[in-house]
Amino acid sequence: MSQTVQQMLTCAGGILAGFALAAALLWRQQGALRTARYDATHDDVTGLPNRRLFLTRLRAALEDNTPVGVVLLDLDRFKAVNDTLGHEVGNDLLDQVGRRLASLPTPVRVAARLSGDEFALLIHGGREDTTAAAHAAWRAIAEDTVRVVNGDLRVTASVGYTYTRHANTSVRHLLTQADSAMYEAKRVDGGVREYLPHRTPTARSRDRHR
């Protein structure tokens, strides 16, 4: 083999090696970008969509000009679990509850953890669908004990929901309504409550979604 051919092969090999290195770096960068995007839109305890992604999906649903429902859930006496059993058990409980909510069937389109022990469901449907989803969520949490790292816990939730058929309804308006209904449920020791316009919102529900 001539020296010229050898030089050409060596040069080609170097180019191919450079392409391979560049491809590997690009693949790593793309993977890191996907991970960063996922982390920015998902909860690190449950793996569910977080508040940011939930609000994005809710806005998109409202823009589709179809009936939309929102269900908010707050675990009853969750602070006592953290205080008496520790944060590891509390996080395990949140994870198990998140799994149950994520497994709810259509018309539930998104199950999200907003913050703390508060979860949200996005419903594609009107009053009947939203009511059914709210009660299904309550049953999914309360009917069976939740297995955590050191045993089984009996858990209940306060659930509030609302719905709209109007595309011009704001995200904040829907969340405030569902929030008001949820805290009405909590005020009477849990259960499921629909938002009713004649009720006076609690102080917390007026302020939480500004």
Q: Look at residue 163 in the predicted model and tell me its pLDDT.
A: 96
pLDDT tens for each residue of 170-179: 999 999 999 9
Q: For the domain covering 51-207, report its CATH number.
A: 3.30.70.270
Above 80 in pLDDT, residue 187? Answer: yes
CA distance 5 to 140: 72
Q: Look at residue 168 in the predicted model and tell me its pLDDT.
A: 84
Mean pLDDT of 184-204: 80
Above 50 in pLDDT, residue 152? Answer: yes
- Which amino acid makes up residue 110? V
Which residues belong to the active site? Answer: 117
Neighbours of 197 (CB within 10 A): 7
DSSP state, residue 190:
S
pLDDT tens for each residue of 10-19: 665 566 666 6
Question: For the whole model, what pTM was predicted?
Answer: 0.80
- Which amino acid makes up residue 59? R
* Mean pLDDT for all residues in the chain: 85
pLDDT tens for each residue of 107-133: 999 999 999 999 999 999 999 999 999
Q: Look at residue 22 in the predicted model and tell me its pLDDT.
A: 67
C-alpha pair distances (Å), 143 with each of 98, 110, 116, 192: 15, 22, 22, 14
pLDDT tens for each residue of 81-113: 989 999 999 999 999 999 999 999 999 999 999
Do you find a cis peptide bond into 107, omega within 30 degrees of 0? yes
CA distance 52 to 57: 9
Q: Look at residue 89 in the predicted model and tell me its pLDDT.
A: 92
